[in-house]
Structure 1
């Protein structure tokens, strides 16, 4: 083993999942349907015509799964709660059995010595709220705050670190602009309204947390750095618009108190006026920022590709994952440094980072040699270490994902997991990437450059 610098003492090593992607049993024990349950049961929405009815069966197998987490040596586990398990109608009557499930899960994690990092909302909105307009309805921010208050009051003492929302950009863009995620809308007018309501919901949930808990709370955003395809002014401004739309739209209001000027150009007549009270609300202080990083995009001007009038350009010779995402570890370091420069020295976590590759067959010895995923983790962990060396206040790293799971509109056709799941038998098998990650945890990163 090569003697290399470890990560700082206390650096946190974890893995991440989300409720609808792994739990299964979406209507069990009094739970209500979510918009993703309904969406995945509609013809033509999921590429392999699957749904999350069983997924990884984590709802029934969480004890076994926590045992696997212990074998990996995970210090933390990031997961989400299903809103409709706790409030079947989104508001009103509480489903005690739903709360009890998450209480059992949290207690089991604590008994195993694994820190829970729960997320309130990871895309699966109660279907009853979707019928009332969902995130297009300004009341939805208060619905989330009421749900949050219930959760924090009942479970807040079992976890010190919470997050409000996961990837609000994906919710707005994929769910309300492109229509490839639930609820399947395609509306340029709705998209900025949804984005703003999500940030309002985050702020109100933070306030609910402060009233119920002494712990720490943050939000998780996905950041994709935007590069211009050339030094021509058109490509430069196209990349700036794309950056404002995907990245700065969700961070500038929280830290700087205003939306990027470019968004008025992006949305045109559909860009709303935001009142001062809302903008003050969005500045509600929180404790840490979660950053999900997978790739970058290189952009050229394209007047036909609305709303940003920019299109990504494939890079010759670059490696791409099964999702069509360029493998670009340098972008993770640059992203973390950009956040520090623009928004200050807030504590950061890499809350998702990983890759979907086509896994090889199991060997005769039952091993799964996912060498490309191992290299992905190696290079991106090195990018994290370099960012720390450059002064970034990075507190931890969560691999995406702990398991192969239901990958939203791709169904089960894309595999991100450290742990292979046979969805017919529910058998779990550690991939080589799991063993690599386990050694990284044990050595606090000293092993990641070893041969």
Structure 2
């Protein structure tokens, strides 16, 4: 049976600057915290760095051609903060703006709408050295950066989001210490939570001041949080994990409050009109979803809890050991609609990593990824039938790229990147999704 998506449903792909662009020392770009982290021995798989990545900086016309061939109507990119402000603030790097001018103008020429995420984790080192997300000054600096981007691109870009997955930064970078800047500090985790929320609120206001006709929303990675084992200690971990993973960087934005059980801990950080500044009215809710999150007690982390491997027998699993569970996707959509008063939702990331192999015929037949997309898109149709206001879907990702601490060992792309040659090879899933987009139906 054919199932159709709404007539005006928006199809897109997403990628980020640091994971794809490379050219880290090109045209005046400054260093980011991830440049430093990736070059620190032991931090990434095989010591791999994003110095070249996919070389999107030089190959963007080919990549936009691949988007056009896929048939998408939108591309969610991030602008690299250190490419625009090499020192984090102060003097604008015109050559950085020029690069994104070229990308955006070509996207528009191809009929693809650019969506800009202002920050996908690549904070300038100069800002980190002044306190980074541990400082209340950083949100002000970030708002100035947001204003610069909106002022320059707002005549052509009409959808903005401040920060990609702000919930991931305190959880992974400060609780577990596995992302840049790779710290473990309870006090700093709390400061980062509040500074990220302030940066969101300040930058929403800054974008609206510079591009009054633009839409602004959040982008957050959410999935149901579940205990690894069915006992009291794991249930306690689940409650705290649900607060830290799903609520602490969403409730303040949409509800104007910090959630239990961490609300009391956040009180000393809240000054003056902070919560009003944070909870700006938004035009859409950008929901990234991959999997349910399993948690348990962990004495080696800041908060005493951490994500665990899925319980035995949960399968099937992706190549990064995430459970394939489309019903968890539906559960998360329902929760988002109910808790945040039925916002307009865009699925701003969804996808899966599998151990793709380039065959002797130079083809990649990724049947597991096709099955993943089919399962999750069918659930998205279920959610639409339930009446949830979902306007679009962005697959993660257009192409294989630098997968943070995992380096190049994991592949999420619709397009295979042969890293020694940087050749792009559309996978079977690329052609499958292109057919879905063309028909606007499963």
Query: Shorter-normalised TM-score: what interval?
Result: over 0.9
In structure 2, relative to structure 1, the CA distance for the partners of 1:273 and 1:59 (3 Å cut) is closer
| SS of match in other structure, 1:227 | strand
Match of 1:274 among 265, 270, 275: 270
In structure 2, relative to structure 1, the CA distance for the partners of 1:211 and 1:438 (3 Å cut) is same
Q: How does 1:11-410 map to 2 (within 5 A)?
A: 11-213=9-211, 214-228=213-227, 234-263=233-262, 272-299=268-295, 307=303, 309=305, 312=308, 313-364=310-361, 366-410=362-406
Which sits farther off after the overlay, 256-265 or 385-394?
256-265
Any gaps of 5 or more consecutive residues in structure 2? none
Cα displacement string for residues 132-165 of structure 1 (whole angstroms, at most 9, x for unaligned residues): 1111111000011000111111111111111110
Contact 2:176 2:301 in 1 (8 A): no
Which sits farther off after the overlay, 313-322 or 102-111?
313-322
Offset of residue 215 of structure 1: 1.1
Find the aligned partners of 2:136 and 2:228 in 1 and give their Cα distance: 38
Contact 2:175 2:302 in 1 (8 A): no
Which sits farther off after the overlay, 338-347 or 255-264?
255-264
Cα displacement string for residues 48-95 of structure 1 (whole angstroms, at most 9, x for unaligned residues): 211111111000011111111111111111110001111111110011
TM-score by length of 2: 0.95
Find the aligned partners of 2:300 and 2:23 in 1 and give their Cα distance: 42
Find the aligned partners of 2:269 and 2:32 in 1 and give their Cα distance: 31
In structure 2, relative to structure 1, the CA distance for the partners of 1:229 and 1:186 (3 Å cut) is closer
| SS of match in other structure, 1:48 | helix
Which sits farther off after the overlay, 270-279 or 160-169?
270-279
Find the aligned partners of 1:321 and 1:271 in 2 and give their Cα distance: 39
Which sits farther off after the overlay, 230-239 or 314-323?
230-239
Q: 1:424 maps to what in 2?
A: 420
In structure 2, relative to structure 1, the CA distance for the partners of 1:84 and 1:382 (3 Å cut) is same
In structure 2, relative to structure 1, the CA distance for the partners of 1:254 and 1:264 (3 Å cut) is closer
Contact 1:222 1:292 in 2 (8 A): yes
| SS of match in other structure, 1:85 | helix
Contact 1:192 1:272 in 2 (8 A): no
Any gaps of 5 or more consecutive residues in structure 1? none
Would you say how many aligned residue pairs link Structure 1 and Structure 2?
A: 440
Offset of residue 380 of structure 1: 0.6
Offset of residue 231 of structure 1: 6.3
RMSD: 1.8
In structure 2, relative to structure 1, the CA distance for the partners of 1:273 and 1:139 (3 Å cut) is closer
